[in-house]
Structure 1
Amino acid sequence: MSLDQDQQLHSGCHDKTTLCLDSSDSCELAKHPLQGLKLASHKVLERAQQTGRLRCSKCGGSRMFFCYTCCSLVGVSIQEIPNIKLPVKIDIIKHPNETDGKSTAIHAKILAPSDATIYTYPCIPEYEKDKVVLVFPGSEAVSVKDIQRCLGDRRKMKLHDHLEEPHPKRLKIEEVEGGTQAAKNPEAEATDEKSKVFPLQRVVFIDSTWNQTNKIITDERLQGLLQVELKTRKTCFWRHQKDKPDTYLSTIEAIYYFLLEFHQSFLVQEYNGEYDNLLFFYSYLHSVINKAKTSAAKCRGQL
């Protein structure tokens, strides 16, 4: 089911376009699994759904809520949706064959525009291996709680390798007013300052079907990045991929759960729903699709 279809679901039994279930859809949504989130009101989305699909002012495509091609809102103003500040920058590497309308990565870009960036493969930035992690369930992936220790070890190794390299002679003791002191080493001071800051600066996510990930994950620019796995989270995506475990999350789920665990593990303040609105569109679509499935089941029962 594409996002195009997701965005035009209605609950009427006689509407033949009400629902088109994927044969791979194995996710039972009898109850709403996204309860308890601190979300902005969905009234703006309800109104937009009643209005129906509109033309994107940039590309002319028929869209509802937002244009996944232009990363712009459609039928909704920027003042009516949440704007979320994230504790780390998010990069999303999108497979070129991933259908735009099926991707939830666009949710992050629209809701956290200053902190989320989408790149289409083969476009990948160069990353510093001791400051960036890749969220991917690789064989050597660690948990979110292990990030600080693992990146810290990498920084120590990097510093050790740097110290092993030949260096010019130290500056001599310099005379200064009021006595003598050793000349300051700016590089050492900078290192001391950086050590006081959490080493993680950016988190990378891959946006593709699980069968497409191999092309991206094996790219040399991602080699050596610390891989992080969200082992205990289960997807409630309505388009769950066949023969894949329920711990394989949609992109927006992975971003949300990563930030939630990051906050709970490393930030001093208690979590108070700061990133819940990353699921603003997702939770609404989930609710609409669940209702449509229930309605479709009732319709079949009446036949």
Structure 2
Amino acid sequence: MSSLDQDQRLHPSCRDKTTVSSDSSDAHELAKQPLQGLKLASHAVLEEAQQRGRLKCSKCGGSRMFFCYTCCSLVGVTVQEIPLIRLPVKIDIIKHPNETDGKSTAIHAKILAPSDVTIYTYPCIPDYEKDKVVLVFPGPGAVSVQDVMKYLLDRTDSDSYYSSDEPCIKRLKSKEVQGATHTAENPESGTPDEAKGFESKVYPLERVVFIDSTWNQTNKISTDERLQDLLRVELKMRKTCFWRRQKGKPDTYLATIEAIYYFLKDLHEHCLAQKYDGEYDNLLFFYSYLHSVVNQAKTSAGKC
């Protein structure tokens, strides 16, 4: 089971402000089964693939389980056997270049929502429109998901009012798109992330940016000039259930796939104003399975 127990990059979130239940036994049970109640596709295909063991990726030859994190292609399972999800907004993930692809949960999002997720390797960052894009990252001035639309609309109105008087701020020129990873050359990964023809379901928000790296390496990306004008969004009231958190870091530091999932869930409820009915639960398809496998291994080893 050790091959599945990988130290994955975490997405930094804010400190949880919820009140812990006084019933310690209930809290203990929730901690043991944090992913219960999700509306997920059957894990039978992953169970069968795990029994077959690791296979070689047909593209790079690497030994992989379920998918190749280098080529962003499925290994041992087919695209027809996994859930594919459409998202209400486009997702961009900026990955730190010094981190190993195999340690990231960001690849889960790309494989499960191939048409709506793009992964870039820093320093490649697109040239974003600040009125249509937000950065999910904690810090001074960060707002909650509930307030995202209000702040974006205020920005849009303000920019329209001052457009004739205020010159645009010159931004750093983005590197070529070839710096992005996981392009549409891979048929299993979906079509390229193209703005043309895409209409966001949450006007004016069109795109959401996440940083994929260890906490100690986030500063270089988060302070990049190309991201400074973006509205920052802070995920609150959330705790990670990742099985190997970064040493010395609180449980409010989410894995990247967790951060994407919780953002979309909050967006659905607070911005689309719709009752959430598991629409994005399958983003945790791989994550929830690995979580159960690792916990079972720990239990068998007497570590739980």
TM-score by length of 1: 0.79
1:270 shift after superposition:
2.0
Question: Which residue matches 1:171?
Answer: none
**Pairing 1:236–2:241 present:** yes
- The CA deviation string for residues 92-112 of structure 1, in whole angstroms up to 9 with x for no partner, is 000001111110000000000
Aligned-residue identity in percent: 76
The unaligned stretches of length 5 or more in structure 1 are 10-19, 23-27, 167-193
**Pairing 1:50–2:51 present:** yes
Q: How does 1:21-60 map to 2 (within 5 A)?
A: 31-60=32-61
1:30 shift after superposition:
6.1
Question: Which residue matches 2:85?
Answer: 84
1:197 shift after superposition:
6.3
Q: 1:197 to 1:69 in 2, by over 3 A?
A: closer
- The CA deviation string for residues 234-288 of structure 1, in whole angstroms up to 9 with x for no partner, is 0011121122221110000000000000000021432111100000000000000
Q: 1:142 to 1:68 in 2, by over 3 A?
A: same
Local SS of the residue matching 2:32: coil
- Equivalent-residue separation in structure 1 for 2:244 and 2:104 (angstroms): 11
Local SS of the residue matching 1:50: helix
Question: Which residue matches 1:204?
Answer: 209
Q: 1:197 to 1:35 in 2, by over 3 A?
A: closer
- Equivalent-residue separation in structure 1 for 2:218 and 2:151 (angstroms): 24
Over the aligned positions, Cα root-mean-square deviation in angstroms equals: 2.4
- Equivalent-residue separation in structure 1 for 2:83 and 2:91 (angstroms): 17
Partner amino acid for 1:63? R
**Pairing 1:295–2:296 present:** no
Question: Which residue matches 2:137?
Answer: 136
- Equivalent-residue separation in structure 1 for 2:272 and 2:34 (angstroms): 26
Partner amino acid for 2:42? S
- Equivalent-residue separation in structure 2 for 1:21 and 1:279 (angstroms): 17
Question: Which residue matches 1:269?
Answer: 274
Q: 1:220 aligns with which of 225, 232, 254?
A: 225
Partner amino acid for 1:80? E
Q: 2:264 aligns with which of 259, 262, 267?
A: 259
- Equivalent-residue separation in structure 2 for 1:61 and 1:277 (angstroms): 26
Q: 1:155 to 1:42 in 2, by over 3 A?
A: same
**Pairing 1:158–2:162 present:** no
Local SS of the residue matching 1:297: coil
TM-score by length of 2: 0.78
- Equivalent-residue separation in structure 2 for 1:225 and 1:65 (angstroms): 35
Q: Note if contact 2:146-2:267 (Cα within 8 Å) is conserved in structure 1.
A: yes
Q: Note if contact 1:30-1:290 (Cα within 8 Å) is conserved in structure 2.
A: no
Q: Note if contact 2:95-2:211 (Cα within 8 Å) is conserved in structure 1.
A: yes
- Equivalent-residue separation in structure 2 for 1:35 and 1:165 (angstroms): 51
Q: Note if contact 1:6-1:289 (Cα within 8 Å) is conserved in structure 2.
A: no
- Equivalent-residue separation in structure 1 for 2:3 and 2:96 (angstroms): 21
Question: Which residue matches 2:287?
Answer: 282
Equivalenced residue count is: 252
The unaligned stretches of length 5 or more in structure 2 are 9-27, 168-198
- Equivalent-residue separation in structure 1 for 2:211 and 2:31 (angstroms): 29
